[in-house]
Structure 1
Amino acid sequence: MRIALTGTPGTGKTTVSRLLPFRVVNLNDLVRAGISAGFDPERECLEADMDALEEKIKEIERSSREDVLIIEGHFAHHFADEAIVLRLHPNLLRRRLEARGYKESKIRENVEAEAIDLILIEALELCSTVHEIDTTDLSPEEVASIITAIIKKDVKMPPGGIDWLGDPEIDLG
């Protein structure tokens, strides 16, 4: 079973994925390793070759003995039937992206995407099952524990409970 661990860049996907007791495929690692369709100079990042990524994921699945394959990345929901979307308050997201050295236009794009639920909406359109976790006040270990419980079907985290746009304190930049 493929499960996407997705969310806006900076929400904690990679950090949390390292704590999970499941096989994890990091899409950014695959793109950096050559499954790329080129470089986007405006966003200053590699562009993913979606068809080649799908083939690589199938290859990994065939070689795996595990029932669960976590696909981690901000566009992972394009490769799975089930998605776990990590969310983060936009003000904290802004601070994390600034600490990473992102340029202001990229920060604003990602903060706005988080504020309007962009990844969540895409996941709802593409996946049959979607869970949503607000990571704002949780440690990576707590988030990993919730994700493990979701995968084991011990808990459900239905989408729709997070509304950043209702927060007057949001700094969109």
Structure 2
Amino acid sequence: MVASLPESIVPDSSFRKQVERLSGRRVSACFQCEKCTNGCPLTFAMDIPPHKLIRLAHLGLKDTVLNSDTIWVCASCETCTTRCPNGIDIAHIMDILRQVSQREGIRASKKDVPVFHSTFIASMKRWGRVHEMEMAAMYTLKSAGLKGLMAQSKLGLEMFKKGKIKLLPYRLRPNSQVRNIFKNAGRKG
């Protein structure tokens, strides 16, 4: 599905400035070479290709950008960032756009994606790294309910038996550094 754009576009620099301030990156440096889009392994699933999303952010089309599936489909693999000749960290900008979207209460069209995102971040905050078993259990519980969690428990047990997931998390020491990172990021954003 391709997102539709308004017939007339009135540039609004306030959204561009917000994105640049939060990300520390200049979206206005993009000259639309399309290397990010051509290298992205998930472009096929996006409603707006990465280079166009950056252009829309530059133009200040906040609603179009924040309601896009693209920001949620992005896997943050950083292929786009690596390919960008201007050094724009597009993967980081996508993360910032997800955060702004959540803060403003804009819901993704695919309901489970933000659930995964928030569960992932919560695990990072709690342990200093992702605890896969807890994250998978919490994600399944939030997205599929208790019935879904029970249905997945057999798979989880098999993965545990094969040593694919750990029962107990490995906590980074000192975890206070990770908490400070999230605290500082919250202050800036």
TM-score, normalised relative to structure 2: 0.29
Higher helix share: 2
Higher strand share: 1
Larger Rg: 2
TM-score, normalised relative to structure 1: 0.31
Determine which structure has greater relative contact order: mean sequence separation of CA pairs < 8 Å that are 6+ residues apart, divided by chain length: 1
